[in-house]
Amino acid sequence: MRGILLTGTAAIALLGFAGLAHAEGELNIYNWGDYTSADMIKKFEQAHNVKVTITDYDSNDTALAKVRAGGHGFDIVVPSANYVPIWVKEGLLLEARPDQMENFKNVDPRWVDVPWDPGRHYSVPWQWGVTGIGVNSKVYGGDINTAAIFLDPPAELVGKINVAPEMNDVLFATIKYFGGNWCTDDKELLKKVRDKLVEAKAKWLAMDYSVTEKLPAGDYSAVYYWNGAIMRSRLTNADIKFGYPKEGYPIFMDSVAILKDAKNVENAKLFMNFIMDPENAAMISAFAKYANGIKGSEQFMPEEMKTAPELVVPAEYEKAGQFLESCSPEIVDLYSRIWTDVQK
């Protein structure tokens, strides 16, 4: 998921390294904005003599719609766990069998036999994290381990809140706030969810992706957003604190997969294997500040990440986290209707 959306979506200049004009091959990666380590990409380019182009997107739905439309020219995409089954079902991904690659042995067992890709026939871990609360403690000093920060905000934060413009993350937290279960079709509960979100939105300032800039700068005093971006904000402004909604918060994992119509399949497979190397995985995490799912990468991590409150979940909040599983099409339709009302 999970930073800010970079401006411009084609061939980000950040990654156009000199000296590779005569590279033997190319690789076109379609990934979330501000989510890819330039140093890691440069290392891959130099190791394999492959020129990498990064194109960024702002949401799972954006990426899915673009690839469905065809003519995209991408080789790799990085969907979230609850979207991978959709990509597979629609025949958009190559069964690349990363489980047979040399570096697959480095994948943490926790992330091998996952429900969205059993045995990892299509994808490999990129990064994983949670959606939680970020608050400027100089503005508000109360309990921040609650979704009430954005659903029933205290007076100090009204008009100063940014909420991630992600339907699933927002609906998950709100459903849990009312004691419900994800993928519920309880009409009475969903009406409460809809009404609460419409009411709460009037107390928010924005729903955008500019957290790593605007939260530490003071443009926002509170956010419901992804933990890595909030950690990056804290490293700029020590007054930023992170909270885990005790009512329930979503856990996500984004995974690298090869598109069925990729033009550079072998280079894409090289990249898959490359990011399963612990040192390379650590470079990904060091940039975006999320965990990665690769054993042994911790020893290459910056010290600041080993004890970061955004990454080390307190024991009392561990059970409140839950993976965002894929809901049925009927329930997705219900949720989409609520989201349409919220966005009006």
**Domains 13-127+253-306 and 129-250+314-343 agree in fold:** yes
| One-letter identity of residue 86 | I
pLDDT at site 265: 97
pLDDT at site 18: 34
* Tens of pLDDT, residues 73-120: 999 999 999 999 999 999 999 999 999 999 999 999 999 999 999 999
pLDDT at site 310: 98
pLDDT at site 3: 54
- Rounded mean pLDDT of the chain? 93
Choices 2.130.10.10, 1.20.58.760, 3.40.190.10, 3.20.20.60: CATH for 13-127+253-306: 3.40.190.10
CATH placement of domain 129-250+314-343: 3.40.190.10
Per-run averaged pLDDT (10 residues), the chain, 344 residues: 43 36 77 97 97 96 96 97 96 98 98 96 98 98 98 98 96 98 98 98 97 98 98 98 98 98 97 98 98 97 95 97 93 97 95
pLDDT at site 5: 39
Domain residue ranges in the chain: 13-127+253-306, 129-250+314-343
Phi and psi angles of residue 168, each rounded to the nearest 5 degrees, phi first: -65, -45
Gap between the Cα atoms of 276 and 296, Å rounded: 10
* Tens of pLDDT, residues 237-281: 999 999 999 999 999 999 999 999 999 999 999 999 999 999 999
